[in-house]
Amino acid sequence: MPLAGVAHQNGTVLRRDPRTSALDPDCRAHEVDKRSWPTRTGPERMRRSGTGASLARGSRAARRAPTGIERGRRSALRPVMPTLRILLLTVLLAAAVRADEPRPAPRLKFGIQTPNQETTWDDVRRAWREAEALGFDSAWLYDHFAPIFGDEDEACLEGWTLLSALAAETSRIRIGVLVTGNTYRNPAILAKMATTVDHVSGGRLLLGIGAGWFEREHQAYGIHFGTAKERAERLDEALQVITKLFAEDHPTFRGRYYTLDRAPFAPRPVQRPRPPIVVGGKGERWIVPLVARWGDAWNVPTGVDADSIRRRRKIIAEECARIGRADCPTEVSVLVPLVAITDVPLAGPVVRLGARFMVGSDIASSVIADGPAAIRDRLRELAAAGATEVILSLRPPFDGALLRRFAEEVMPAFRTAAAH
């Protein structure tokens, strides 16, 4: 074993210079040649040098009787030792109890998304009314003209006209389309649609919008799809058009894809200065920065994990700093598929494993099919990453019992600090 204060370098033992505490391989005075070390055994060296006797004398001295002062100290501590032991035991037991207590849940809002495929008007209306009665904060449709999973020939209701009808069927819950595909409509027309729904709902609209992604749908209906970069550029311009119409009087805009020419825009939305704009998407290079430039909130698509949420929130913050935006968006909603709430052991991992073969590993990892405690733990992870709302994507036909169980056994843990 190397001696204290000695280092080995290329077979040479180097002692530290006591003046500098540095190794000095170049100074001959600090070198020791290992070949010149004595070869006697430890006991023999101790006998010849008298070291053993010295150690023995030290050992006997260490075992000497305590002095009067030491006896006095021990006598003074003896009466309080039982109390100290009890106090220590109490502290340890309290720590153990705290470790078993459930962690306090962070603030979270909750919403539902009812995909408008393979369903009916009556089923969607029932689900939205029930979600409102159960205390959910928001309800959303999707924006597609044909089913995005399953048989494309199944029924699929159009999102924005359906949203307007649902606005009249509800009274408190915030409503929106998660998210509107920008490629499907001229943004000026979308701004008029959004304003109308904001009036019908009494100022409850959340304007969700994204770049558009479902290529098959574009091909089927003759809608230009373009590259990912082009769709991001279109979304950037569309958001400028929409915000100008909401804020300016007869705005003019000249872009590569969209234009306005002293455009009239009345009435104004009920919400001022505008309905909150929720930008959806996960592209770090082109889409996420748009949240900072034009959005009021960010919607995280299914399949983005907690670490990825943190990384993209950092991108939003950096873009806000770059453009000098002080009111940087902090609202983050996360879309997760709710399949089941079950007490069957390992049901969640089994369901997620099976989902890998249908929707891919990223989306499958987001599927919720667990017991209430495990679901609460997963939601805490999302909240710790920056999520402020969890939106449950439901599969038609919509299961009212599943929604009620979530509201009764999961939501209360997150509602004590939640604001409506």
Same domain, 194 and 254: yes
Cα dihedral 33, 35, 38, 41 sign = positive
Same domain (yes/no): 380, 269: yes
Residue type, 106: P
**Rounded distance between C-alpha atoms, residue 359 and residue 365, angstroms:** 10
Query: What's the mean pLDDT in 227-245?
Result: 98
User: Which is higher by pLDDT, 139 or 84?
Assistant: 139
Q: Which residue has the higher pLDDT, 113 or 361?
A: 113
* Domain assignment of residue 173, yes or no: yes
Q: Is 342 exposed, middle or buried (0-12, 13-18, 19+ CB in 10 A)?
A: middle
* 402 pLDDT more than 50: yes
pLDDT at position 221 over 60? yes
Task: Give the pair of three-digit tokens for residue 151.
Answer: 């048989």
For residue 364, is it within any domain? yes
* Residue 371 included in any domain: yes
Contact assessment for residue 144 and residue 180, using Cβ atoms and an 8 Å cutoff? no
Q: What is the pLDDT of residue 321?
A: 98
Bond preceding residue 241 cis, omega within 30 of 0: no
Least confident of 23-32, 143-152, 399-408: 23-32
Residue 71: pLDDT band with limits 50, 70, 90:
low
**One domain, residues 2 and 37:** yes
Lowest pLDDT segment from 31-45, 330-344, 379-393:
31-45
Residues in the chain: 420
User: Do 89 and 116 belong together in one domain?
Assistant: no
Number of domains in the chain: 3
| Least confidently predicted of 21-30, 58-67, 310-319, 373-382 | 21-30
Q: What is the pLDDT of residue 222?
A: 98
Give 327-346 pLDDT, tens digit per residue.
Answer: 999 999 999 999 999 988 88
Question: Does residue 248 share a domain with residue 392?
Answer: yes
Asked whether residue 67 is domain-assigned, the answer is no
Do residues 214 and 280 share a domain? yes
337 part of a folded domain: yes
**What is the separation of C-alpha 364 from the centre of its chain, rounded to a whole number of angstroms?**
17
Name the pLDDT band for 361 (thresholds 50, 70, 90): confident
Q: Are 379 and 233 part of one and the same domain?
A: yes
CATH of residue 357's domain is 3.20.20.30
Q: Does residue 129 sit in the same domain as residue 187?
A: yes
The rounded percent of the chain whose pLDDT value lies above 70 is 74
Residue 195: pLDDT band (50, 70, 90) is very high
Residues 89 and 206 in one domain: no
304 and 354 part of one domain: yes
Residue 396: give the domain boundaries: 109-415
Mean pLDDT estimate for the chain:
83
Structural domain includes residue 205: yes
Q: Check whether residue 9 and residue 128 sit in a common domain.
A: no
One domain for residues 34 and 176: no
Asked if residue 420 belongs to a domain, the reply is no
Q: How many CA atoms lie within 13 A of 81 on its CB side?
A: 7
Sign for the CA dihedral angle at 103, 104, 109, 110 comes to positive
Q: How far apart are the first and last CA of the chain?
A: 67
Which residue has better confidence, 363 or 242?
A: 242
Top-confidence residue, 123 or 27: 123
Q: Does residue 228 lie in a domain region?
A: yes
Q: How confident is the model at residue 41 (pLDDT cuts 50, 70, 90)?
A: very low
Token pair for residue 243?
Answer: 């915000």
Q: Look at residue 39 in the predicted model and tell me its pLDDT.
A: 43
Angstrom distance (rounded) from CA 38 to CA 50: 16
Query: Rg of the chain over CA atoms, in angstroms?
Result: 34
What's the whole-number mean pLDDT along residues 97-125? 82
